Amino acid sequence: MQSENHKKLYNAVGIFLLIWGVLAIGNALYMKEFGLILWQCYIGLIVIGFGIIKRNSSLIGSQLNIIAIPLILWTIDFLYYLITSNSLWGISDYFFVENRTLLSNLITLQHVFTIPLALFVVYNLRFERKDFWKISMIQLVIIYFLSYLLTSREDNINCVFEPCLNINFQFPYAITWFSLSFLMVFLTNYLLVYLFKR
């Protein structure tokens, strides 16, 4: 049973992530870069925040399925650049561009703290069910087509036009995107349920 202190802490974390997600989308709208609002990490912030407030671990897990691995890779790349001043995979290089605004960089730091905060809450809430991968799959399909149809190849939102990592694939890229995304979801879902099942 949750104590009052735990409830307050969960609510604070949920509200913090929710506000950070709304701020990220608001900043994208302010800069008139409307495609940015479709980034999975922005959507994940809002949904995870809402899931924490509602104590819905399946909703939180559905977002972790999608963003956990990409955000971990981004954080590794970011820390490597921060320590060595050299690019590793190139996925966080934009953070160090001189003309980036302070607000944009602050928002981008959500890549570093979203997963630890979500896992902290999940550790205490646990999962009552293990099929939250279904929500992830539906969301991935919707976001893929919205990103592909409504955003530009130059922005490459959610990496739907070409790999965000410098990797060459032999198959048509759409097939590769869905295959890797679904594999990522199933792998993350399995690990989350294994580690945090009630």
Q: pLDDT tens digit string along 159-190?
A: 999 988 877 777 899 999 999 999 999 999 99
Q: Distance between CA atoms of 138 and 95, rounded to whole angstroms?
A: 30
Mean pLDDT of 117-141: 93
Q: Is the pTM of this model over 0.75?
A: yes
Q: Which residues 6+ apart lie within 8 Å of 176 measured at CB?
A: 163, 169
- Residue 1 pLDDT more than 60? no
Q: Please state the domain extents for the chain.
A: 4-196
Q: Closest Cα to residue 118, out of 75, 159, 74, 71?
A: 71
Q: pLDDT tens digit string along 17-57?
A: 999 999 999 999 998 999 999 999 999 999 999 999 999 99
| Per-residue confidence (pLDDT) for residue 13, from 0 to 100 | 96
9-15 — which CB contacts under 8 Å span 24+ positions? 10/52, 10/53, 10/55, 10/121, 10/124, 10/125, 11/52, 11/53, 13/49, 13/52, 13/117, 13/120, 13/121, 14/48, 14/49, 14/50, 14/51, 14/52, 14/53, 14/121, 15/49, 15/53
| Per-residue confidence (pLDDT) for residue 23, from 0 to 100 | 95
- Residue 198 pLDDT more than 80? no
Q: pLDDT tens digit string along 96-110?
A: 988 889 999 999 999
Q: Distance between CA atoms of 116 and 103, rounded to whole angstroms?
A: 22
| Per-residue confidence (pLDDT) for residue 55, from 0 to 100 | 94
Beta bridge pairs of residue 127? 197
Q: How would residue 2 be classed by pLDDT, with cut points 50, 70 and 90? A: low
- Residue 92 pLDDT more than 60? yes
Phi, psi torsion values for 127, nearest 5 degrees: -105, 130
Burial bucket for residue 151 (CB in 10 Å: 0-12, 13-18, 19+): buried
- Of 73 and 197, the structure prediction assigns the larger pLDDT to 73
Q: What percent of the chain has pLDDT over 70?
A: 98
| Per-residue confidence (pLDDT) for residue 61, from 0 to 100 | 97
Strands (E), 55-168: none
Residue 142 to residues 29, 92, 96, 146, Cα–Cα distance (Å) = 21, 25, 31, 6
